[in-house]
Amino acid sequence: MYSEKFQKSIAAVEAARAQNIAYEPQRMTAQEKIDLLAAYHPDYRKDEFTELTIGPNKGEKVPTELAEMLQAHSRITADSVDLSNPDYDVDVLVIGAGGAGTSAAIEAHEAGAKVMIVTKLRMGDANTMMAEGGIQAADKPNDSPAIHFVDAFGGGHFAAKRELLSKLVCDAPEAIQWLSNLGVEFDKEADGTMVTTHGGGTSRKRMHACKDYSGAEIMRTLRDEVLNREIPVVDFTSAIELILDENGNAAGAVLLNMETKDMLVAKAKTVIIATGGAGRMHYQGFPTSNHYGATADGLVLGYRAGAKLLYADTLQYHPTGAAYPEQIFGALVTEKVRSLGAKLVNTDGTVFVHPLETRDVCAAAIIRECNDRGNGIETGNGLGVWLDTPMIEAIGGEGTIEKRIPAMMRMFGKYGIDIRKEPILVYPTLHYQNGGLDITDDGQTTNVKNLFVAGEAVGGIHGRNRLMGNSLLDIIVFGRTAGKSAAKAAQDAVVGSLTLDHVTKFEAEIAAAGIETEAISPKLLPNYTNKANI
Amino acid sequence: MEKMVNIFLFGKKYEVPENLTIMTAMEYAGYQLVRGCGCRNGFCGACATIYRIKGDKELKACLACQTKVEDNMYIATLPFFPLVKQVYDIEKVKTNEAVMMQLYPEIYACVGCNACTKACTQELNVMQYIAYAQRGDFEKCAEESFDCVMCGVCSSRCPAGISHPQVAMLARRINGKYLAPGCGHLEDRVKEIKDGDFKDLIEALMQKPVEELKELYNTREIEK
The answer to whether position B120 is within a domain reads: yes
- Please give the Cα distance from B28 to B69 (Å, whole number): 12
Residue of B215, B193, B211 whose CA lies nearest to B202: B193
Domain that residue B136 falls in: 98-179
Same domain? For B156 and B190 the reply is no
Q: Where residue B73 sits, what CATH number does that domain have?
A: 3.10.20.740
C-alpha to C-alpha distance for B199 and B193, rounded to whole angstroms: 8
Class of domain A4-40+317-430: alpha beta
Q: How many Cβ atoms from other residues are within 10 Å of residue A68's Cβ?
A: 17
Show Cβ contacts of residue A84 under 8 Å, excluding neighbours closer than 6 positions: none
Strands B12-17 and B48-53: unpaired
ipTM over 0.95 threshold: yes
Q: Strands A115-118 and A233-234, how do they pair?
A: parallel
Interatomic CA distance for residues A400 and A403, integer angstroms: 5
B165 to chain A: closest CA residue: A220
Q: How many CB pairs under 8 A join A and B?
A: 232
Query: Which stretch of DSSP H or E encloses residue B49?
Result: strand B48-53
Q: Using CB atoms and an 8 Å cut-off, which of residues 141-200 of chain B contact chain A?
A: 142, 146-147, 149-150, 169, 172-177, 180-187, 189-190, 193, 198
Task: Calculate the CA dihedral of residues B18, B20, B24, B30 and round it to 10 degrees.
Answer: -20
CA–CA separation, B108 and B100 (whole Å): 9
What is the per-residue pLDDT for B1?
Answer: 57
Interchain contact B43–A (C-beta under 8 A): yes
**Are B172 and A151 inside 8 Å of each other by CB?**
no
Strand ranges for A375-416 from DSSP E: 377-378, 383-387
Angle made by CA atoms B193, B196, B197, in degrees to the nearest 5: 80
Q: Environment class of residue B59 by beta-carbon count within 10 Å: exposed (0-12), middle (13-18) or buried (19+)?
A: middle
Q: Does B90 contact A225 at a Cβ distance shorter than 8 Å?
A: yes
CA dihedral B207, B210, B212, B217 (to 10 degrees): 110
Specify the DSSP element, H or E, that contains A11.
helix A4-22
Answer whether residue B89 is part of any domain: no
DSSP assignment of B151-168 equals --HHHHT-TT---HHHHH
Residues B167 and B119 in one domain: yes
Q: Which residues contact B201 (CB under 8 A, 6 or more apart)?
A: A144, A145, A146
Give every CB contact of residue B100 below 8 A, 6+ residues apart in sequence: B107, B108, B133, B134, B136, B167, B170
Chain A contact for B32 (CB, 8 A cutoff): yes
Amino acid identity of B35? R
Give residue limits of the domains in chain A: 4-40+317-430, 78-314+434-502
Active site residue A318: yes
Task: Specify the CATH class of A78-314+434-502 in words.
Answer: alpha beta
pLDDT in the model for residue A296:
98
Q: What is the mean pLDDT of each run of 10 residues along chain A (534 residues)?
A: 93 97 95 97 97 98 98 97 98 98 98 98 97 96 98 97 98 98 97 96 97 96 98 98 98 98 98 98 96 98 98 97 94 95 97 96 97 95 96 96 94 95 97 98 98 98 97 98 98 97 98 97 94 47
Min Cα–Cα distance to chain A from B40, Å? 6
**pLDDT attached to residue A1:** 78
Residue A220 appears among annotated catalytic residues: no
- Please tell me whether residues B110 and B152 are part of one structural domain: yes
B195 and B129 within one domain: no
Q: How far apart are CA A47 and CA B117, in angstroms?
A: 52
d(C-alpha B85, C-alpha B66), whole Å:
26
The residue ranges of chain B whose pLDDT is under 70 are 1
Which among A41, A338, A359, A431 is annotated as catalytic?
A338
Amino acid at A302: G
Q: Within this chain, do residues B115 and B174 fall inside the same structural domain, yes or no?
A: yes
pTM: 0.97
Spatial separation of the C-alpha atoms in residues A334 and B127, rounded to whole Å: 30
B83 lies in some domain: no
Interface contact B72, partner A, CB < 8 A? no
Inspect the interface and report whether the beta carbons of B185 and A140 lie closer than 8 Å: yes
What does the angle CA B57 – CA B58 – CA B63 come to, to the nearest 5 degrees? 145
Instruction: Judge: A259–B34 Cβ closer than 8 Å, yes or no.
Output: yes
Do residues B173 and B201 share a domain? no
> If you measure CA to CA, which chain B residue comes closest to A193?
B183
Question: A157, A318, A354, A462: which is the annotated catalytic residue?
Answer: A318
- In tens, the pLDDT along B116-152 reads 999 999 999 999 999 999 999 999 999 999 999 999 9
The per-residue pLDDT for A381 is: 87
Asked if residue B122 belongs to a domain, the reply is yes
Is the CB of B42 less than 8 angstroms away from the CB of A411? yes
- Are the C-beta atoms of A385 and A379 separated by less than 8 Å? no
CA R_g for chain B? 25
Contact B37 A292 (CB under 8 A): yes
Domain count along chain B: 3
The span from the CA of A518 to the CA of A73, in Å, is 7
